Amino acid sequence: MARTENRCANCGGKLGLVSHQHRGLRFCRKSCRESFLARTAKDHNVMRKWFGLLTRASACRAGHS
């Protein structure tokens, strides 16, 4: 069984002689790194929208009390 530190953080593929890194994560290909960053950016934008709605809704309720 392969050790987890020898695997790509995105696809789980084996790391070769060259690995691409981002904040302590290692990726087997540059395309894996770019797809990971795109997916996390999309997830963060969704969370920002939700938290923005929650803060606006709580501010509206506090103003109506």
Confidence of residue 57 (pLDDT cuts 50, 70, 90): low
CA–CA gap between residue 16 and residue 6 (Å, rounded)? 9
Query: Which sequence spans correspond to the domains of the chain?
Result: 4-64
The pTM of this model reads 0.66
Based on its alpha-carbon atoms, the radius of gyration of the chain, rounded to whole angstroms, reads: 19
The residue ranking higher by pLDDT, 16 or 2, is 16
Q: Can you give the pLDDT at residue 39?
A: 95
* Structure token pair of residue 10: 């995105």
Q: Which residues pair with 17 in a beta bridge?
A: none
What's the mean pLDDT when you consider all of the chain? 84
